Structure formats: C-alpha cells, structure tokens
C-alpha cells in the first residue's frame, strides 16, 4: 500500500513542492509513496510547476480510504491536515512550524528545524541520504524558499535558507531575482478571484487557548487594489466565522515590495489583534509595519494574548 505524502490545506508553494520533492527522494530510496494535495493550487505555485514542467499532485479530500500510513510535510497541526488524519498513522513529519495539536500512538520520524522553509530541510535530507538532486527538484525547492521567504525579505528566512536557495538556483539554472519576482508576481493577480477564494488561498486555523483563530494571507504588489474589495472580503470572512465557529478571523494583506501588511480583523475576539500588535483597528483595519510572516510575527503575539 502506498504511503501518501501531503502538506497542509489551502496549499502554498512550499506545501505542494515539498510533497513532490519528498516523494521523489523517498521513491529513489525505494519506498512506495505518492504525493497528493488537499486543496487548489494558487497562481504562484502553478507558475513554478509550469516553469519546471512538473505535474501537480493528485487532489484528495480524505486519505484513510486509500492508505493506513501518511507522511506530513510543511505542517503538523491536525486542523490544517486531512479531515480524517486521526484514522491513519503518521509515519514521518518534515516541517518548520511550531508543534501543536499533534499526537501519535507510537514513535515516528519527526524532522523539524527552525528554518524558513520545508524545502531547505529536504535539501539537507538528499545530502544525508547521498541522493543527487535533479534540475527539476532543485527548481521546486528553490521556488519554495523564494515563496516562504518572499525573496529573503521575511524574518523567518535564515542564512541556511539563503545558502540553500543559491545552491539550488545554480542546479535549477535560474536567476534567483528574476525568476523569484516573476513567480511572486504570478501569485498576486487577484482579478479573477472571488472574495471567498482570496480569504482561503492561504488560510490556516489555529487553536489558541480557548479560541479558534483563522489567519489568511494575501500577497500583493498593490494593497489599495485589494482594499477596494474590503466589504466583500469582510462579508466572506463573516460567513466563515458563522460556519466554522471562529472567534477571530484575521486577513493579512502583505505588500511583497514594501514588506508591510494591512490586517483586516473581525470576530468576537477582534480586540486581541489590537493588544497583540499594539495598534488601533479603524473600520476593522490596521497597518502592521514590517510584518510579513504569519508564523513568526503574527501567530506568536496572538497566541500570547490568548495563552
């Protein structure tokens, strides 16, 4: 029986590429695995896959109907994973996030490092296992690093990520800056996206103390263009709150050129955002100066407020 490898819901470039890349490594090591995905591709990821001529992983909603064993990449929290994750055995996790809402019955291989991107860890695993990285896999890994680090501007980006990206860019035969900006921009075209899509393309749920918090992020090169649709976005967020019982929904609109974010926050625990970032919400909105990383700059301070 094949072991399925997948990243989180609302997949981003690192989640999709890491599933493909780790499946490549495990296959070369003799394992029977298949990369799958839990949601739709975003424009940025489509750009990367097309550039390196790779098929997207197969879309699945549940996993227990086809396997008993899975490998998680780029996530571990239950609510970000397959709906029936509790019905299968997690054999491995390769991740770079905090650990929470995760539990196993038995021992497993768990490899997390506090780096900016799962692909940076995967690049190490190829070396540890003495497996050559192909041009295509190098391309997917460098795309992941560019995406998660916003071309090295995010505070989550470490020296290791930058070194890995340079090494992989050479193997993938791309110019880091040119390819990187083209790929990031490909992810910012919102003209054909509904408000519902915009708040779910890159969205994650977190349990913080007693609160159920949803944090979505949209990258842009034109914040004003996104804010033109604010009332539609708020309506869509409110619908999600009603349907899923979130106590707080935060939408981060992140300018990838300026490296600031504008937050729209609604829900009964709206005030937590003011407290966490020492800002005043006006019409549910506040600018978060120099904030680009959900993981490093948004989740920890919010978690502290709810803690």
Residue with tokens 């899975």: 70
> Which is nearer to a second copy, 89 or 175 (by Cβ)?
89
Residue with tokens 């019955």: 105
Q: Return the closest-CA partner of residue 226 out of 279, 282, 187.
A: 187
Q: Say whether 12 counts as a known binding-site residue.
A: yes
Q: How far apart are CA 187 and CA 44, in angstroms?
A: 4
- Using CA atoms of 201, 207, 209, 212 in order, give the dihedral in degrees to the nearest 10: 60
Q: By CB under 8 A, tell whether 261 contacts a second copy.
A: no
Q: Say whether 14 counts as a known binding-site residue.
A: yes
Q: How far apart are CA 205 and CA 9, in angstroms?
A: 10
> Which is nearer to a second copy, 289 or 304 (by Cβ)?
304
Asked if 247 and 211 touch (Cβ cutoff 8 Å), the reply is: yes
Q: By CB under 8 A, tell whether 104 contacts a second copy.
A: yes
Q: What is the contact mask toward a second copy in residues 61 to 100, using x (rule: CB under 8 A)? A: -----------------------------------xxxxx
> Which is nearer to a second copy, 2 or 109 (by Cβ)?
109
Report in angstroms how near the CB of residue 276 gets to a second copy at its nearest. Answer: 12
Residue with tokens 């090169």: 221
Q: By CB under 8 A, tell whether 303 contacts a second copy.
A: yes
Q: Say whether 105 counts as a known binding-site residue.
A: no
Residue with tokens 């977190």: 206
Q: Say whether 148 counts as a known binding-site residue.
A: yes
Report in angstroms how near the CB of residue 91 gets to a second copy at its nearest. Answer: 8
Q: How far apart are CA 202 and CA 298, in angstroms?
A: 14
- 108-127 residues in contact with a second copy (CB under 8 A) are 108-114
Report in angstroms how near the CB of residue 158 gets to a second copy at its nearest. Answer: 10
CB atoms within 10 A of CB 285: 16
Report in angstroms how near the CB of residue 79 gets to a second copy at its nearest. Answer: 13
Q: Can you give the binding site for a second copy, defined by CB under 8 A?
A: 96-114, 128, 295-296, 299-300, 303-304, 307
């Amino acid at each position: 029986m094949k072991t399925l490898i997948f990243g989180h819901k609302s997949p981003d470039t690192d989640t999709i590429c890491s599933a493909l890349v780790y499946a490549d490594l495990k296959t070369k090591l003799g394992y029977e695995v298949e990369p799958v995905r839990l949601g739709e591709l975003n424009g940025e990821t489509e750009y990367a896959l097309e550039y390196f001529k790779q098929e997207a992983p197969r879309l699945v909603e549940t996993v227990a109907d086809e396997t008993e064993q899975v490998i998680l990449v780029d996530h571990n929290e239950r609510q970000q994973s397959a709906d029936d994750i509790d019905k299968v055995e997690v054999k491995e996790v390769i991740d770079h996030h905090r650990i929470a809402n995760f539990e196993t019955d038995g021992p497993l291989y768990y490899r997390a490092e506090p780096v900016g991107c799962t692909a940076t860890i995967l690049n190490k695993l190829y070396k540890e296992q003495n497996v050559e990285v192909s041009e295509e896999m190098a391309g997917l890994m460098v795309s992941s690093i560019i995406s998660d680090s916003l071309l090295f501007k995010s505070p989550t980006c470490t020296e290791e990520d930058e070194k890995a990206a340079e090494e992989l860019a050479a193997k993938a035969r791309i110019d880091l800056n040119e390819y990187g900006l083209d790929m990031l921009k490909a992810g910012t075209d919102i003209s054909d996206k509904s408000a519902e899509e915009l708040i779910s393309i890159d969205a994650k749920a977190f349990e913080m103390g007693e609160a159920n918090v949803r944090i979505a992020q949209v990258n842009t090169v034109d914040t004003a263009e996104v804010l033109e649709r604010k009332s539609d976005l708020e309506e869509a967020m409110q619908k999600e709150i009603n349907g899923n019982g979130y106590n707080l929904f935060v939408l981060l609109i992140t300018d990838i050129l300026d490296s600031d974010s504008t937050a729209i926050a609604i829900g009964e625990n709206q005030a937590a955002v003011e407290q966490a970032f020492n800002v005043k919400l006006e019409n549910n909105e506040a600018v978060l100066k120099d904030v680009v990383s959900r993981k490093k700059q948004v989740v920890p301070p919010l978690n502290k407020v709810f803690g």
